[in-house]
Structures are given as structure tokens and as C-alpha cells.
Amino acid sequence: MRLIALETATEQCSAALYLDGEIHSVRVRAARRHGELILGQVEQLLREADIPRGSLDGVAVGRGPGAFTGVRLGLGVAQGMAFALDRPVVPISTLQALAQQALQGGGRRPTAVLAALDARMGEIYWSLCPVRGERAGPAAEQVGAPAALEVAWPEGQRYALGSAFAAFPDLAMAQGLELSAVDADALPDAREVALLAVDAWERGEAVAPEDAQPVYVRDDVARPAAPR
């Protein structure tokens, strides 16, 4: 199987190529430059692998939640590529892809992973993803004030990651998390989008390009930011 994956929902812009069981990826943290970078990243991966676009089976994309502009950009590029190639799109939760990072190396085996991103305006996007074997499973995606966060942790090891913990330093303590169980620097990456997309493909979750929809969670972007 050959899939190209995109993730542009945060300040990190990344692309990944799943090539017959191996994942090659490239990333850069460059806010507001995703539009000029993402196609170059795709071309770089295809060039280095020496394969043509036409050999791809599909296009995977982080479909949010995240920055509105970034989510729209990623979906738009993925749809454009898929239409041009007559291939399907595999939308993947940005928060689920973030949670998957907790299971990549390090010997960690939490029973659940709290993925949380800074949503601006004094709020966070978050999801408590259950761990199923080697994968972080899907879960409800929510947005709200960090002080109002109520997480129903299951029994077992806990782990959390995402920019929300950097934006709101008291969040980890409020959840009873040890510092060693929090990665505040983690951002969603196309590498995990590709990994999860292969599983989704096998479950028949690929869709026609026009059916790939963004998930914003929050539609209100006009109100003023709440003080921190």
C-alpha cells in the first residue's frame, strides 16, 4: 500500500509517505507558511522514494480539530490531490493522531492518552483516547476552558500530550499527572496520520474526496479571547 498523509492543523506542517510498510516523513514548525510548504514536502517524499504520484493508493489527512485555516488547508490540498489522481481520502482525527505519539517508543503502555491542543480564546481541544494494543483509539472530541476539564480516566497508567499543557501549565497538575507523564511539546504529525490511515483503510473508512469533511468542534471564532 502507498499513502501520502498530510497534517496542517497546528503550527507544525508535516507530510508522510506510507510505502509498503515503511513510513517516511518530513516536518517543520512554521506558522502561517503551511500553504507554501506542504506540496513541497509531498514532492520531496515522492522524489526521495523515487515513485510517481500516480502509484499512490490514496491520500490521508488530519481533519481536525485544530486551527481553522490549517484544517481547511489540509483538507483542501488532500481533496485536490485525490481528485487529480482519482483516489480516495482517508480522514483521521488530529487528536487521535496526537495521542498515537504516546505509543511510539519509550516503552509506555498507558490505558488511555489525553490529547489536548491549545484552541486559543482561553480554550483547549481535547480527547481521551483509549489504548487498544498498539493503537490509540478514537474518542469524543471536545472544546472548553481548561479549568472545566473533567476527564474520566480509566484504571491504569495515564499519559497526556499536546500544546494545551504548554499554554496552560496548571492543566497537568489539575489532572493529577506526573511531569514524566506529560509531553507539552508534542504536536500532531503526519507520521501518525499515515499509520492510523492504513488501519482505517483496512476497515473501509476511505471516502470519496468530496465526502472528506473537516471537524472543527468549535464554530465560534468571533468572540474575544478569554484572559489567562
Same fold, 2-93+188-211 and 95-183: yes
- Residue 220: the pLDDT is 52
Work out the number of other CB atoms within 10 angstroms of the CB of residue 146.
Answer: 21
Report how far residue 203's alpha carbon sits from residue 2's, in angstroms, rounded to the nearest whole number.
Answer: 16
Q: Helix, strand, or coil here: 22?
A: strand
This model's pTM is above 0.85: yes
- Residue 31: the pLDDT is 81
Residue with cell 480527547: 127
* Fold observed for domain 2-93+188-211: Nucleotidyltransferase; domain 5 (3.30.420)
Mean pLDDT, the chain, rounded, equals: 94
- Residue 146: the pLDDT is 97
Mean local confidence (pLDDT), 96-118: 92
* 137-148: pLDDT as tens digits: 999 999 999 999
Architecture of 95-183 per CATH? 2-Layer Sandwich (3.30)
Please report, rounded to a whole number, the percentage of residues in the chain having pLDDT higher than 70.
95
- CA quadruple 140, 146, 152, 158: dihedral sign: positive
Q: What is the CA radius of gyration of the chain?
A: 17
Domain ranges of the chain: 2-93+188-211, 95-183
* 51-71: pLDDT as tens digits: 999 999 999 999 999 999 999
User: Would the pLDDT of 225 be above 70?
Assistant: no
* 114-139: pLDDT as tens digits: 999 999 999 999 999 999 999 999 99
